[in-house]
Amino acid sequence: MVQKVEFLNAAKLPLNKLFFSVKYDGVKTKIPALSEHWIEKRCYTKYKPLPIVEGKIEEGTAITEWLCEADYFNKDLEFLLKLPHFKFWSHIIYDKKCMEAILSFFQEATPCYINICSATKNRKVLPAYLNIYNNAFRIVCRIITNKESEEEWITKEHLQELLYSKFIISIPLIFDLIITYGRVNREMLSRVIQTIFRIEPKYLNDLRLSLQYFQTALKTIQRKTETEEIVDENSPDINTLDDLALYTLDCALTISILTEILPQAKSICNELKMEQSISKFYENAIPLLYKNIYTIDSNSSSLLYLNKARMEFLKTFKVIINLHIENILKNPEESIQQAENYISTLTECLADRTFVIDFQTYFPIEQDIDILKQACPNLDHFKVDFIFKAYTSEGEAFLLDMIKNDNQNSKILDKKSVSPEPSKISTNESTKQNHNRIFEEEILAVKEVFPDLGDGFINRLLSRYDNSEQVIAAILEGNLPPDLETADRKEVLIPPDPQDTLFMETGIKRYNVFDGDQYDIMTNDNPNCIIKANKGFPNQPKNMKQLLDDKSHVKALKERYQQYDLICEDNEYDDEYDDSYDALADSESKLNRTRIGIGKDLLVDELEPDDGDEEEDESSEENNEGDNKNDEKRDTSKDFCENPEVIRARYEAKRAAKYNRGGFSGNKFNQSRNVVGNPKGQGQDEKTLNNRHKKEVNKSSRANHNRKSGASWKRNRGMIPS
């Protein structure tokens, strides 16, 4: 049992060096002021969140039960606040259940963006919640306070060690404080968080890691949103989309408030390039998530959460880039680098067109640009004018031109073409231009949110409003002009005919794509084309009879083939003819006949040696006979193709040999291979039975007799589905 000890600290020692004397069985014992001995046994109640469903608090048993548990939880908080200084810290350090109960409230508390008054009609809910709300914040303030009085205090070094080493205060707890108290108690929350980071600078390293986690969380939300894109009416689950919307708002609100109340957070976000992560997420994830939720439930409260998240992201981006402006104002002499960083950040975000337009709408950059020009006279005004042109009132048209004409950016960015002031156009002229203009890109943006509207109706809306965001807001709020409210929302867009525009400008009525160009014979005196009055080209046949009677192509072919005429009409014999050509021709013809398969008997005749050439002493008659034979052979070798009779004889010999091998004799079947035999019932001779036996034994040596075994082999190995 804990004994009652009167707190006496006449020496004004710090809590970590203070001891108390306690009697046990008549013996005095010194016990440190921070000890488990001072913990009073108590059953702590954990906080349970309000029973909120679809933005409303459930009435009846659920809220009655919550009120009862909230009363017990509030009594636990009041018990801790009433404890003496040394007992309070003993419970915080050594009683785990006590700290778990305190953290349960910050983890389950109602976020600051939910209005409890409008969520319920029960008058007991708000006072009960506010009591817990205030007492929990008082406990946090007491934890980070090192000195309560002259006698009750603790050294800053020891407090620093307790908060960080014992994990009493952590970065997640700081984020929970931001979400819970938010902008309602902004000044007190700012003091608390700045005090925590002043007591222990190590929290800055943890904060850097946590902000990197936020960048990863934004990417995760975007990836999850893209995977949950609407495919049909049954997918995805609306609860998943609502959770993504709430998570988006929590991230946006946490980063926004943190950068506002903690100066070090702005520097860390700038180093991590948090502004680029915000612009990418704003451009890609939020519109798609909004579209998915609106498609399923157009009255969902998550749409309002997404709009709040958009504003928080824009505020965060403004706070982060204002760090450069603040540094320029503090130290104008060394401001060129800060100005370059400011310009580069805005330039990198130009690809995110929706973000650029919204940011300029709520946070115009004209004043910042003036500061840059005044503080940095050496700054490249070419870049400044480019950013000014991209973000000002002409930014939308400028961005469209820049995206469509990437190759002509140098002309667009010319100093002469970019003016530092917005273009001044009269209201009547701008109205006329709006009525005659077709907003193709903005029509697509509106159809992403309202796919049921017709292009013509959207174009009429855009002619009345400045951009697609205003059109979407007007439709959601039901604040359309009377004539557009009653207009046909399925109206189809019929673009103006460019031929009518040309006719009004030039007086030339176009009928085809060649009207008015270099081939137009109606507008040009000397057109670059062939003029013809009838069908076909000039000097061409007019009908089939003239085409068939025209023989001009025969003459052209005759002249062409006469160039290849190699026939010599001179009959005189040239004595200087080289006899070696005959020998070469003989050898080539013999080789060719060998390749095409001339019979052996013909080859033998041609390859026999010439006896008349070897025996020089024979009579002239024998020589004449030998010369005649050589002439005949020479003539044969010069034949253009082989004699057909020889070819037929050779193939007849091959065919006869084939039939003899296969059991045929001429055209009749060879009886020695007969397996058919006599008709059934008349008996078979011995030769037929032997032939059948031979066929049965030798049939496996040929193909197409192992189909069954082959199919079984394939089926056993899964090659054929069974």
- The per-residue pLDDT for 511 is 60
Q: What mean pLDDT is reported for the chain? A: 78
Q: How far apart are CA 300 and CA 17, in angstroms?
A: 58
DSSP conformation class of 352: -
Which of the pair, 149 or 671, is modelled with greater confidence? 149
User: What pLDDT is recorded for position 104?
Assistant: 94
pLDDT tens-digit readout, 131-141: 999 999 999 99
Q: What average pLDDT does the segment 70-99 reach? A: 93
* Rounded Cα gap, residues 504 and 435, in angstroms: 18
> Using an 8 Å Cβ cutoff, are 232 and 213 in contact?
no
pLDDT digit string (tens) for 299-315?
888 899 999 999 999 99
> What is the tens place of the pLDDT at every residue in 637-648?
455 678 888 988
Is the per-residue pLDDT at 75 higher than 90?
yes
Domain residue spans of the chain: 36-200, 204-433
pLDDT of 169 reads 93
Spell out the residues 6+ positions from residue 218 whose beta carbon is closer than 8 angstroms to its own. Answer: 251, 277, 278, 281, 285
Residue 409, pLDDT > 50, answer: no
Highest mean predicted confidence (pLDDT) among 234-243, 341-350, 668-677: 341-350
Q: What token pair was written down for 706?
A: 């192992």
Token pair recorded at residue 301: 């409260």
Residue 233 has pLDDT above 80, yes or no: no
Which residue carries 């005659």 as its tokens? 436
User: Measured between alpha carbons, how far is 86 from 152 in angstroms, rounded to an integer?
Assistant: 8
Per-residue model confidence as pLDDT tens digits over 572-602:
545 444 555 555 556 555 555 554 444 444 4
Separation of alpha carbons 708 and 304, rounded Å? 74
pLDDT-derived band of residue 252, with 50, 70 and 90 as boundaries? very high
Contact 457, 428 (CB under 8 A): no
Read off the pLDDT of residues 114-126 as tens digits, 9 standing for 90 and up: 888 877 888 899 9
Q: Would you say 278 and 352 are in contact if contact means Cβ atoms under 8 Å apart?
A: no
The whole-number pLDDT of residue 228 equals: 66
pLDDT (0 to 100) of residue 218: 93
Distance of alpha carbon 304 from alpha carbon 297, whole angstroms: 12
Residues 418-433 have pLDDT tens digits of 333 333 323 333 443 4
CA Rg value for the chain:
51
State the pLDDT at residue 205.
94
* Res 446 pLDDT > 60: yes
Looking up tokens 């009677």, which residue turns up? 549
Q: What is the pLDDT of residue 286?
A: 93
Residue 284 has pLDDT above 60, yes or no: yes
Looking at residues 335-339, what average pLDDT do you find?
A: 86
Long-range contacts of 25-32 (CB under 8 A, 24+ apart): none
* Residue count of the chain: 722
Rounded distance between C-alpha atoms, residue 646 and residue 539, angstroms: 56
Calculate mean pLDDT across residues 170-194. Answer: 91
718, two tokens: 């899964």
Q: Is 681 exposed, middle or buried (0-12, 13-18, 19+ CB in 10 A)?
A: exposed
Judge whether 111 and 179 are in contact, CB under 8 Å: yes
Q: Is the pLDDT of residue 522 over 90?
A: no
Q: CA-CA distance, 65 to 122, in Å (whole number)?
A: 13
Lowest mean pLDDT among 59-73, 356-370, 427-441: 427-441
List the structure tokens of 88: 């309070």
- Where would I find the H helices in 380-512? 381-391, 395-404, 409-412, 427-436, 440-449, 455-462, 468-477, 482-485, 498-506
